[in-house]
């Protein structure tokens, strides 16, 4: 007995003596602490390398170990100069990561270095830079670091050793950027020379003519915090006007084109989505609503998110579509959209966040990073490519932009999902991200991302977000005891991952004492509001809606769920893990020992087969195993009895789109009878319709049987056009709704539309308050029909 106890003790001690190189995946406190320490060491390796080889310039080149400077000779070099203002930006942007590490000595040292770098507390630098990027990297970090330094509840509180210099520096930069808003419309120009202040720079018009939605609207977050901390409301008022003005430019679908001319207000691109150029708009609508307790911002978020779900949302990602029509615009998603699952967690939409995050996990498994753009739809050339000749296939056809500079968005959403679920699935991802940083991206003097994700060529650049965001989120993933996770105040991360919070005292003082005494900006805003009133009086602001009906095949938005020949040519069977049997599952509740994702998410490997045609590994990734299938992790955390895969669907899914006058009210799913109800049926409604036949596998992974086809009525009660069909033919297929406006319907769910509110498409003939149009009819069971075929779970009540 004593021997057994001794042996057990030895085993426990061995388990706790974790080295990150062993990766036991037990995720004990000792092991997680080791991972956290590894991340801490990686951060200081990058930060100290910058101080040694890059300071006082903005960045360090991680491979060549020399400073990365702005192009002083060519002011039109946007690629270089937009982000590098000669502000020592890596030092400033990294301050909050040191604070998150709770390293007071190094935090004080870094703050003092900033003070020595800017002894006059003035960014008097002759540099034209992006207003938005400078706001989030410089002003945002200075504000957050000031909060850390002055909050006595924080581990890095500096007390008498700090006199507010960071806040004064932040205000100085804000005063230099705020003139960008002194335009006729009140919307900012994208770039400004921080030395010239009120004089717009003399360079090509193309640098000023286009500004994206994120850049026009989103400085409001940092500038509003600056107003709270200084008591000067001009920063909030000027930028909030621009945010609201930007939102007013949305289309009748409540979607924003990604960029505009800030003076003419004409869109530069009709595209919209959740990725580059527009991502932070959604982020700051929700985060601003939370941090500032702002109901108007919350209303904007609610409308914007519902519009995205209605028009952009597919099973595994949000597509880039036309903002005015909702049609697919480009068949790719970009790396910045990987942040959105984290925002969905903050919004409470956890189930969809889990699904959307999986898409980016599969992309990382394939390419070792998230390409700047990746095509989810296979190009025509792929269909004719020989099945065994992948080496000669040009991967540029599926990766339009091939770099990955270690962007933080996938790290960010992984962190948010772990905080919400505590599923070790996400810790496992973090371990692999840590391993990749150490083994593939760590270079001589920092971290080098991919210059070309296809060839594996590394980029001799380390942008500031690597230290400010990527490593910060990875550290917090493993730091369960971090003060941010225990804070009583509402801590919100900025889009650059700078923690922000507002104490009740700060809120109260601002509400009582805030002043707007700058005549230049108050007069400017008065003029903008006056012009808005005049414009509203002259124009009818109601946008016309086309009453109509459209039916579009779902493959326009994403590939058909049925594997095509092109997909089969790329060895689908090799991508389906053999350890996940293809059969229906019935998962027990309460098996908390296992990872819920591995044990209960039946669609875990659907992406691998569904997008096999464009998830093609480059040569340098051939030996890279899927993160979720790491043997030591999978064997420990999967439930061997219930970890099963859903059978792939063989049905066809298309979209039924109603774009009608008025607005719709869609009640949430009623759980007891699995029913979704349209109280009003107007505006834009997007229904995913499944075409089902006997012996097919449906959207839910179940076999369709003959019982589904019993007692089917095909006679239209308002028209005789279906009489012949109903009397002569039995249906060989039926329709069924599987999703509405991005909301998934349960397998046995039904959709109810209040009959007196129903509007459809036929000859403008009214019968019993129902407008019948085109090929849409209603049978004697109150089921909607398309071309005399019922949608069996879409019922008028």
Share above pLDDT 90 across residues of the chain, in percent, rounded to a whole number? 68
Instruction: Mean pLDDT check: name the lowest of 38-42, 513-517, 593-597.
Output: 593-597
Query: Is 122 annotated in the active site?
Result: no
Q: What is the pLDDT of residues 148-183, one digit of tens each?
A: 999 999 999 999 999 999 999 999 999 999 999 999
The pLDDT of 324-344, averaged and rounded, is: 96
Please give the mean pLDDT across all residues of the chain: 86
The pLDDT of 338-352, averaged and rounded, is: 97
- Active-site position among 372, 412, 628, 659: 372
Report the distance separating Cα 637 and Cα 633, nearest Å. 6
Closest CA to 39 of 121, 89, 100, 80: 100
Closest CA to 408 of 256, 279, 596: 279
Q: Is the pLDDT of residue 564 over 90?
A: no
Q: Is the pLDDT of residue 653 over 80?
A: yes
Q: Is the pLDDT of residue 206 over 70?
A: no
Paired tokens of 111: 């703050």
| Dihedral (CA of 101, 474, 312, 738) sign | negative
What's the pLDDT at 6?
41
Q: What is the band of 763 on the pLDDT scale with cuts at 50, 70, 90?
A: very low
Q: Which residue has the higher pLDDT, 291 or 744?
A: 291
Domain boundaries, the chain: 652-796
Q: Where are the beta strands (DSSP E) in 506-584?
A: 548-553
What's the pLDDT at 692?
95
- Active-site position among 232, 279, 334, 698: 279
Query: Is 302 annotated in the active site?
Result: no
Q: What is the band of 757 on the pLDDT scale with cuts at 50, 70, 90?
A: low
What's the pLDDT at 347?
97
Q: What is the band of 22 on the pLDDT scale with cuts at 50, 70, 90?
A: low
The pLDDT of 564-590, averaged and rounded, is: 37
- Active-site position among 103, 151, 254, 409: 409
- Active-site position among 82, 103, 133, 606: 133
What's the pLDDT at 774?
59
What's the pLDDT at 758?
63
What's the pLDDT at 214?
97
What's the pLDDT at 295?
97
Report the distance separating Cα 148 and Cα 144, nearest Å. 6
Q: What is the band of 17 on the pLDDT scale with cuts at 50, 70, 90?
A: very low
Strand 750-753 with 675-680, pairing: parallel
Q: What is the pLDDT of residues 45-69, one digit of tens each?
A: 999 999 999 999 999 999 999 999 9
Q: Is the pLDDT of residue 662 over 80?
A: no
Q: Where are the beta strands (DSSP E) in 23-99?
A: 59-60, 67-68
In contact, 766 and 688? CB cutoff 8 Å: no
Instruction: Mean pLDDT check: name the lowest of 4-8, 131-135, 544-548.
Output: 544-548
Q: What is the pLDDT of residues 102-111, one digit of tens each?
A: 999 999 999 9
Query: Is 409 annotated in the active site?
Result: yes
Q: Is the pLDDT of residue 706 over 80?
A: yes
Q: Is the pLDDT of residue 769 over 60?
A: no
Q: Is the pLDDT of residue 222 over 80?
A: yes
Closest CA to 542 of 432, 371, 683, 351: 683
What's the pLDDT at 646?
86
Task: Give the best-scoring range by mean pLDDT among 38-42, 384-388, 555-559.
Answer: 38-42
Q: Is the pLDDT of residue 294 over 80?
A: yes
Q: Is the pLDDT of residue 598 over 50?
A: yes
Q: Is the pLDDT of residue 756 over 50?
A: yes
Q: Is the pLDDT of residue 580 over 50?
A: no
Q: What is the pLDDT of residues 64-78, one digit of tens each?
A: 999 999 998 887 888
Cα of 777 vs its chain's centroid, Å: 39
Where on the phi/psi map is residue 678: left (φ > 0), alpha (ψ -120 to 50), or beta?
beta
Q: What is the pLDDT of residues 236-249, one digit of tens each?
A: 999 999 999 999 99
Q: Is the pLDDT of residue 459 over 90?
A: yes
Query: Is 133 annotated in the active site?
Result: yes
DSSP, residue by residue, 381-436: HHHTS-TT-GGGS-GGGT-SB--B---SHHHHHHHHHHHHH--HHHHHHHHHHHHH
Residue 133: its H or E element: helix 131-134
In contact, 266 and 557? CB cutoff 8 Å: no
Total number of residues shown for the chain: 797
Q: Is the pLDDT of residue 715 over 90?
A: no
Strand 783-786 with 789-796, pairing: antiparallel
Q: What is the band of 499 on the pLDDT scale with cuts at 50, 70, 90?
A: very high
């Amino acid at each position: 007995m004593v021997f057994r106890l001794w042996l057990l003790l030895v085993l426990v001690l061995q388990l706790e003596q974790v080295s990150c190189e062993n990766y036991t995946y037990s995720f004990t406190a000792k092991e997680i602490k080791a991972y956290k320490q590894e991340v801490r060491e990686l951060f200081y390796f990058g930060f100290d390398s910058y101080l040694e080889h890059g300071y006082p310039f903005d960045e360090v080149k991680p491979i060549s170990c020399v400073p990365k400077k702005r192009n002083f000779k060519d002011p039109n070099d946007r690629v270089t100069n937009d982000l590098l203002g000669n502000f020592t930006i890596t030092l400033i942007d990294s301050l909050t990561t040191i604070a998150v590490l709770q390293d007071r000595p190094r935090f004080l040292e870094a703050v003092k270095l900033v003070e020595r770098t800017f002894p006059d507390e003035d960014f008097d630098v002759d540099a034209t830079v992006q207003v938005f990027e400078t706001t989030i990297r410089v002003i945002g970090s200075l504000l957050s670091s000031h909060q850390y330094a002055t909050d006595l509840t924080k581990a890095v509180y500096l007390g008498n050793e700090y006199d507010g210099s960071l806040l004064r520096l932040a205000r100085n930069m804000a005063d230099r950027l705020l003139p960008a808003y002194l335009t006729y419309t009140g919307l900012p120009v994208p770039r400004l020379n921080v030395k010239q202040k009120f004089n717009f720079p003399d360079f090509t018009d193309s640098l000023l003519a286009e500004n994206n939605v994120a850049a026009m609207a989103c400085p409001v977050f940092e500038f509003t915090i600056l107003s709270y901390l200084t008591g000067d409301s001009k920063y909030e008022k000027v930028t909030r006007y621009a945010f609201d003005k930007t939102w007013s430019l949305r289309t009748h679908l409540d979607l924003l084109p990604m960029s505009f001319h800030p003076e003419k207000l004409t869109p530069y691109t009709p595209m919209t989505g959740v990725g580059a150029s527009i991502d932070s708009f959604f982020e700051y609508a929700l985060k601003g609503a939370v941090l500032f307790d702002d109901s108007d911002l919350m209303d904007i978020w609610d409308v914007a998110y519902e519009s995205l779900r209605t028009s952009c949302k597919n099973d595994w990602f949000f597509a880039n579509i036309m903002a005015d029509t909702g049609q697919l615009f480009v068949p790719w998603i970009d790396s910045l959209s990987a942040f959105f699952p984290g925002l969905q967690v903050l919004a409470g939409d956890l189930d969809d966040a889990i699904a959307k995050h999986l898409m980016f996990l599969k992309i990382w498994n394939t390419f070792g990073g998230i390409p700047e753009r990746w095509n989810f739809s296979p190009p025509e050339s792929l269909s004719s490519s020989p099945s065994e000749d992948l080496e000669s296939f040009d991967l540029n056809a599926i990766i339009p932009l091939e770099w990955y500079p270690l962007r933080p968005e996938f790290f960010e959403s992984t962190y948010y999902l772990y905080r919400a679920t505590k599923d070790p699935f996400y810790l496992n991802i973090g371990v692999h991200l840590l391993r990749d940083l150490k083994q593939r991206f760590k270079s001589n003097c920092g971290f080098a991302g991919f210059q070309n994700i296809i060839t594996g060529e590394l980029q001799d650049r380390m942008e500031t977000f690597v230290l400010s965001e990527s490593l910060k989120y990875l550290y917090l993933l493993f730091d369960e005891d971090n003060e941010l996770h225990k804070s009583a105040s509402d801590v919100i991360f900025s889009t650059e991952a700078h923690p922000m919070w507002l104490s009740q005292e700060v809120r109260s003082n601002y509400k009582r004492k805030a002043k707007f005494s700058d005549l230049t900006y108050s007069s400017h805003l008065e003029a903008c509001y006056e012009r808005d009133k005049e414009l509203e009086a002259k124009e009818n602001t109601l946008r016309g809606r086309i009453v109509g009906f459209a039916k579009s095949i779902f493959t326009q938005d994403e590939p058909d769920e049925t594997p095509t020949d092109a997909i089969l040519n790329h060895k689908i069977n090799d991508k389906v893990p053999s350890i996940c049997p293809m059969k229906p599952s019935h998962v027990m509740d309460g098996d908390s020992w296992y990872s819920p994702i591995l044990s209960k998410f039946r669609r875990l490997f659907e992406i691998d087969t569904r997008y096999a045609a464009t998830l093609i590994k480059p040569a340098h990734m051939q030996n890279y195993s899927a993160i979720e299938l790491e043997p030591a992790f999978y064997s420990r955390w999967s439930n061997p009895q219930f970890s099963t895969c859903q059978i792939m669907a063989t049905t066809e899914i298309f979209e039924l789109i109603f774009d009608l006058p008025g607005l719709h009210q869609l009640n949430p799913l009623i759980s007891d009878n699995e029913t979704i109800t349209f109280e009003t049926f107007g505006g834009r409604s997007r229904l995913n319709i499944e075409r089902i036949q006997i012996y097919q596998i449906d959207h839910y992974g179940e076999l369709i049987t003959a019982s589904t086809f019993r007692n089917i009525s095909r006679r239209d009660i308002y028209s005789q056009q279906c009489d012949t069909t109903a009397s002569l033919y039995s249906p060989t297929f039926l329709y069924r709704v599987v999703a509405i406006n991005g909301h998934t319907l349960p397998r046995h769910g039904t959709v109810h539309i209040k009959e007196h509110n129903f509007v459809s498409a036929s000859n403008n003939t009214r019968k019993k308050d129902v407008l019948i149009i085109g090929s849409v009819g209603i049978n004697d069971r109150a089921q909607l029909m398309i071309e005399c075929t019922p949608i069996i779970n879409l019922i008028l009540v």
